[in-house]
Chain A
């Protein structure tokens, strides 16, 4: 344990009063003035005087200095006492009768779930808080904050009754989030301010941080210099108002394995095809791990297990191809054999499995011959393999543009618009809601398209729905024979990498609409023409995706529908467009579960069951005829299930996974904290995990005022000075 006597801060309440220190020169001035005011006298017996002086010069000088020092010290201390000095210190301290506001900040990042003994770090921290509270004198007030993401004030107004405080502390559970240091410090400052306002008699403040000092929490790699400066400023401001103690409950060496990622091979999961489940496991520790069991569970039933060897710092993938046999929501879990931190040993995915993928193709230029229409080639490209031996999982439905408002769009996974001349405000509204619910929209243009109308109702203009990823400009009639795949970065074209024979790069385009992106646009260009103009642009809107293709889906502007690249390109467009459906089902801890109720279950009472097996009622809100619900308390990882309380319909599942940044348990060295992030912040660092029982109860930092003690010293000097002067005079006389 660090020495409890480290001084944290020293200062004066009234700095201006230190001007009186000049008065310390008064005794010296009086002494010099006295010498100038001396009497003169003849002296016959000068020899004896000289002899006496020779023998006693040193003693006399010492006595004079002693008296001068006493008088000067007296005035210096008096001036200091008037300026009311104080120091904030841990350990030894001037006693004071004032009560203390003890503010506990418990680290809520999931690395605190590390369990080196029978208790994990979080439980240990809670025990420490209890010990400190139990050891506090009556009259002290206690507050509790949790450094989670976001930071949370558990007990804001100081609790004066320890029992009340313990009730809150006992009910506190560790979320599976990271820790927001900046947000926590901001709330600490607010809480201190609140306590001072509401409980002025709590004159001293002590802030205890109970943390494992995880580097990922305190000094994440992506932390910018500005953020560091901000945190430093916040901590300094707190240390000026309160004593800070850092109770380190972490261990210097902690091994950990984590499932970093758990993904599916494609976005379209159907019963016809096996889906590839891939888990990425990483060894964050310093020791090699051998034969670690990785288990896959589907709907809670183990379906496969594999074993893995991992060197320190290494990561490796585990793959399983699985075919679902029933439609509907399925939960898939990847589970890693237990290590000391269990939170990141699980990862879930919810996969809505369909019998078929239904796609609505709006044909803007219907014709008798399917291939002569604007959406004919699209329908073929979406379901190219339909024959009598196999049924393709994608079921396109081609309808004219008038059917857009008549169809129940929730039955379709994706909508393709092809050469639709114009859209109405009502149609734009329908499409907008469809996207918000996680639907996919792919827009092909053509000679019938009225660009102004598109920009107005679908674009980002004043009364537009803001669906389109780019603004439509003029029609360009320059033939393009070269496509720029932009290094195959976008998922749409990623499959074409190394497959030049698929013909994507040589797709001939005779005419296209030039797409313009604003500088601040969040849209992403997936593919571009050789001229640099965008070819395909993607935009995300809530959970939905909208993809805009600059040319047509028929052969009027391009030979693309006849090109070998067309089928895979359309398939990839569909896959990307429907990805939002899974995004809404697979969240990170802290993200809100928000979904639209199907028309069948509208009006039902909804109930959500959390991974910790608690249930909560949901209150859907209705907007423009569509009911949506929202659930924000997703601080625990696992499967959340939403079901109707009144009907027996199958529940809808949502997977919430941790952000594995916290899986790296390497701690931040306290010296680094002192030198870097908390530079200039006075705090005491205590490591109490191993043997707190042997340690004295932490003597918390307090603000001590010294003026009273100084005044006692001044009084003592005032009494002592004449006595000393008299004694010295008597010895001489």
Chain B
């Protein structure tokens, strides 16, 4: 593993203090593992052609030109400076959950991911904005491409702690109105909310012609329900407590969860929203790859 790649591991990240350090570590680690620059990936405007030299990526060969001139030309993209990425970070109480085996809470993981993406975006001179929300929008940082803007973003992220209930539908409607400039909206949340109202909000964002990426952050315990002894499950966000034998209810719980996940995925597919389910034990490069590969596929 290269020097920085170890920072993609949440276990390692958990040992690092400071979100900036974490973000930088993630991005450096990620980039160093790639054979090509990711920067082009984010740009969407075509610049010019140049002649092929050995070593170039064959995927960028313009086959139409080859057809006409019998020469190899590569498509060159102009770096987009007016692309705007919005990080929408869920800071509700449910995001504070950290499973027994997880090094990071869902919120911490989401912060890292958002920070890494922000850092990456700013690195390629694009603009990044940030909104944190729970039952309402708590913080809103306008998009900027200034590299010093990162500090502010990270500061806001670090300040946010999970306390309130989630009300995504309302939030998405509100943000859809506020985010005037068309861009990429990355939403990091556990999406534990009413699916129809949530989807309505997402539709609104799509209507505003934003590219929407859902990073569905879930703890491994939430996906596996590994408990064995009788447990009192304390409901977060004001919901009631439940005392039960986890073994007897596991299958029913997973059925309910999977049903919800299916609903959410289906809705995303219908509305051309990128959906990525991320477990907090997964390496952070998965997050970045998910986002970036999705972008690449769109181009």
Interface string of A39-57 (1 = CB under 8 A from B): 1111111111111110110
- How far is it, in angstroms, between the C-alpha of A368 and the C-alpha of B94 when the chains are bound? 151
A162 CB to nearest B CB, Å: 64
A729 interface neighbour in B100, B230, B235, B248, Cβ under 8 Å: B248
> Is A291 an interface residue when CB atoms closer than 8 A count as contact?
no
Known interface pairs A47-B239, A49-B242; A732-B250 also in contact (CB < 8 Å): yes
- How far is it, in angstroms, between the C-alpha of A42 and the C-alpha of B106 when the chains are bound? 13
**Docked-complex contact B94 and A39, CB < 8 angstroms:** no
**Docked-complex contact A44 and B222, CB < 8 angstroms:** yes
Interface string of B248-288 (1 = CB under 8 A from A): 11111101110010000000000000000000000000000
**Docked-complex contact A41 and B231, CB < 8 angstroms:** yes
**Docked-complex contact B192 and A44, CB < 8 angstroms:** yes
Known interface pairs A38-B243, A43-B97; A49-B249 also in contact (CB < 8 Å): yes
A283 CB to nearest B CB, Å: 83
In the complex, chain B residues whose CB is within 8 Å of the CB of A53: 242, 244, 249, 252
Which residue of the partner chain B has the closest CB to A38?
A: B230
A45 interface neighbour in B100, B222, B255, Cβ under 8 Å: B222
Interface string of A552-580 (1 = CB under 8 A from B): 00000000000000000000000000000
In the complex, chain B residues whose CB is within 8 Å of the CB of A43: 97, 233-236, 242
**Docked-complex contact B252 and A42, CB < 8 angstroms:** no
> Is B219 an interface residue when CB atoms closer than 8 A count as contact?
yes
**Docked-complex contact A50 and B242, CB < 8 angstroms:** yes
B113 CB to nearest A CB, Å: 18
> Is B20 an interface residue when CB atoms closer than 8 A count as contact?
no
Using a Cβ–Cβ cut-off of 8 Å, how many residues does chain A contribute to the interface with B? 29
**Docked-complex contact A52 and B231, CB < 8 angstroms:** no
A34 interface neighbour in B95, B230, B249, B257, Cβ under 8 Å: B230
B236 interface neighbour in A42, A52, A56, A732, Cβ under 8 Å: A42
**Docked-complex contact A60 and B248, CB < 8 angstroms:** yes
**Docked-complex contact B257 and A48, CB < 8 angstroms:** yes
A95 CB to nearest B CB, Å: 42
- How far is it, in angstroms, between the C-alpha of A35 and the C-alpha of B252 when the chains are bound? 21
In the complex, chain A residues whose CB is within 8 Å of the CB of B256: 48-49, 51-52
**Docked-complex contact A39 and B251, CB < 8 angstroms:** no
> Is B35 an interface residue when CB atoms closer than 8 A count as contact?
no
A60 CB to nearest B CB, Å: 5
Total CB contacts across the A-B interface at under 8 A: 107
Interface string of B17-57 (1 = CB under 8 A from A): 00000000000000000000000000000000000000000
In the complex, chain B residues whose CB is within 8 Å of the CB of A35: 230, 243
**Docked-complex contact A42 and B249, CB < 8 angstroms:** no
Which residue of the partner chain B has the closest CB to A40?
A: B232
Which residue of the partner chain B has the closest CB to A46?
A: B235
Which residue of the partner chain A has the closest CB to B92?
A: A44
B100 CB to nearest A CB, Å: 8
In the complex, chain B residues whose CB is within 8 Å of the CB of A501: none
- How far is it, in angstroms, between the C-alpha of A52 and the C-alpha of B232 when the chains are bound? 15
CB proximity to A under 8 Å, residues B94-114: 94-97, 100, 106
Known interface pairs A44-B192, A44-B222, A52-B256; A37-B249 also in contact (CB < 8 Å): no
**Docked-complex contact A56 and B252, CB < 8 angstroms:** yes
- How far is it, in angstroms, between the C-alpha of A563 and the C-alpha of B100 when the chains are bound? 134
**Docked-complex contact B247 and A732, CB < 8 angstroms:** yes
**Docked-complex contact B251 and A41, CB < 8 angstroms:** no
- How far is it, in angstroms, between the C-alpha of A701 and the C-alpha of B230 when the chains are bound? 53
> Is B190 an interface residue when CB atoms closer than 8 A count as contact?
yes
In the complex, chain B residues whose CB is within 8 Å of the CB of A46: 233, 235-236, 239-240, 242
- How far is it, in angstroms, between the C-alpha of A156 and the C-alpha of B250 when the chains are bound? 73
> Is B229 an interface residue when CB atoms closer than 8 A count as contact?
yes
> Is A98 an interface residue when CB atoms closer than 8 A count as contact?
no
In the complex, chain A residues whose CB is within 8 Å of the CB of B232: 38-41
A51 CB to nearest B CB, Å: 5
> Is A58 an interface residue when CB atoms closer than 8 A count as contact?
no
A218 CB to nearest B CB, Å: 65
- How far is it, in angstroms, between the C-alpha of A78 and the C-alpha of B243 when the chains are bound? 33
In the complex, chain A residues whose CB is within 8 Å of the CB of B219: 44
CB proximity to A under 8 Å, residues B55-109: 93-97, 100, 106
- How far is it, in angstroms, between the C-alpha of A40 and the C-alpha of B244 when the chains are bound? 11
In the complex, chain A residues whose CB is within 8 Å of the CB of B249: 49, 52-53, 56, 60, 732
Which residue of the partner chain B has the closest CB to A729?
A: B247
**Docked-complex contact B236 and A44, CB < 8 angstroms:** yes
**Among A43, A46, A60, A729, which residue has the most Cβ atoms of chain B within 10 A?**
A43
In the complex, chain B residues whose CB is within 8 Å of the CB of A64: 245, 248
Which residue of the partner chain B has the closest CB to A35?
A: B230
In the complex, chain B residues whose CB is within 8 Å of the CB of A732: 247-252
Would you give 20 A-B contacts (Cβ < 8 Å), ordered by A?
Answer: A37-B229, A38-B231, A38-B243, A41-B234, A44-B222, A44-B236, A46-B233, A46-B235, A47-B239, A49-B233, A50-B242, A52-B252, A52-B255, A53-B249, A60-B244, A60-B248, A60-B249, A732-B247, A732-B250, A733-B251
- A residues with a Cβ closer than 8 A to B are 34-35, 37-53, 55-56, 60, 63-64, 728-729, 731-733
| The 5 residue pairs across chains A and B that have the minimum distance between CB atoms | A52-B252, A44-B94, A43-B233, A46-B235, A44-B97
Known: A42-B236, A733-B250. 19 other contacts (CB 8 A): A38-B230, A38-B243, A39-B227, A39-B230, A40-B232, A41-B232, A41-B234, A42-B96, A43-B236, A44-B219, A44-B237, A45-B222, A46-B235, A49-B233, A52-B252, A60-B248, A732-B247, A732-B252, A733-B251
- B residues with a Cβ closer than 8 A to A are 93-97, 100, 106, 190, 192, 219, 222, 227, 229-237, 239-240, 242-245, 247-253, 255-257, 260
